[in-house]
Amino acid sequence: MVSIRAVNNWEFIFNGTRYEKSCTRTDGNFWKIYDFEFTAGRPFTQQDVLDKRNYAVIAESLSKILFEPGESSLGKTIDYNNMQLSVVGVIQHPPPTALNTSGDIYIPYNLVTDSGVRPYIGGYQVIFKAARKKDRAAIVEEVQEIIRRLDAADDELKLFMPGPNTQFDKMLIGYGDPEEYSGRSLPLLEFLGKAFGFLLLPAINLMALNFSRMRERSEEIGVRKTFGASASVIRKQFIFENIMMTLLGGILGILLSYIVVLIFRSEIRIPIDFINSVQITYSFDIVIFLFALASCLLFSMLSGVLPAIKMSKMKTVEVLRGGEL
């Protein structure tokens, strides 16, 4: 299934107040590819687009601006750039970080014309939805074959487009010149390598901290070994302490981040691409939290292994005499 999408700003004045909203021009397949929650009405269909019906789907936030509280907006008319559009559906406002779906008003793409004669031809995003994951390779090959045919028909201009890429791939490679990413088939490995290097720094710091803690507790460890504590028991103790410190740090990190968002959420904006940014908000995703916690636990255990091995090999008599570990 294929859909197209283009976004432009929509500025208007209503009841003496100036508003700046976004308008998404798309087709009927758009509503089948993405999962929107309609609070009223329905989406416009592909046949509605072909018939050039003046239909619009609006977000709840826009409905609250244009219509009275409790008043149904279905069937009501909206003046969009001198076009009278009939509201056929109302959706919950998509989050601003959902770059492919966010918008305030959605209209058929062919309602916007160039000089009132032909459909406006501008920058559009093409969206593919495969029936199965394994169909992606066939989609990419078909698109590249179309590009090759277009290039063969024009000796002066060359069309270059990688992919089509998944949304995850786009997040990894960014929004720069696509030619910079030509031939890079393993962006995930690059991303994981950078993430591993970033996490390795605190792991090394924690390892140094563990060595320092071990030196401070060397006499305690020596006494415990004298009274029968085995090296494996003491190793497990240090690793367990590391894990508990990581869990405590994770809980404190969540609480502190929540407090920071509550205090500074009106002053901090996060860039989501090279143009747009959104106000910081707090949300908790259990999957992301567990993944981050598992990563921290992994590095915590790794940073505790070397100090534990070093500790298990120490000579108890020398430590009790005040020697070095």
8-42 residue pLDDT tens: 888 888 888 899 888 999 999 999 998 888 999 99
Residues 139 and 163: their CA atoms lie apart, in Å, by 9
Quick one: pLDDT band at residue 90, thresholds 50, 70, 90?
A: very high
Mean pLDDT of the residues in the chain: 78
Predicted local distance difference test score (pLDDT) of residue 325: 46
- The set of residues, in sequence order, having a beta carbon less than 8 Å from that of 302 and lying 6+ positions away, is 203
The residue ranking higher by pLDDT, 162 or 232, is: 232
Predicted local distance difference test score (pLDDT) of residue 120: 63
Q: Tell me the helix, strand and coil percentages in the chain, rounded to 5.
A: 50, 20, 35
Predicted local distance difference test score (pLDDT) of residue 150: 84
Please count the CA atoms within 13 angstroms of the CA of 121 that sit on its side-chain side: 2
Tokens of 67: 């219509």
| pLDDT of 273 higher than 70 | no
Stretch 214-228: mean pLDDT, rounded? 74
Residues 205 and 198: their CA atoms lie apart, in Å, by 12
User: Is the Cα dihedral 197, 203, 208, 211 positive or negative?
Assistant: negative
pTM to 2 decimals?
0.64
24 backbone dihedrals φ, ψ, rounded to 5° = -105, 120
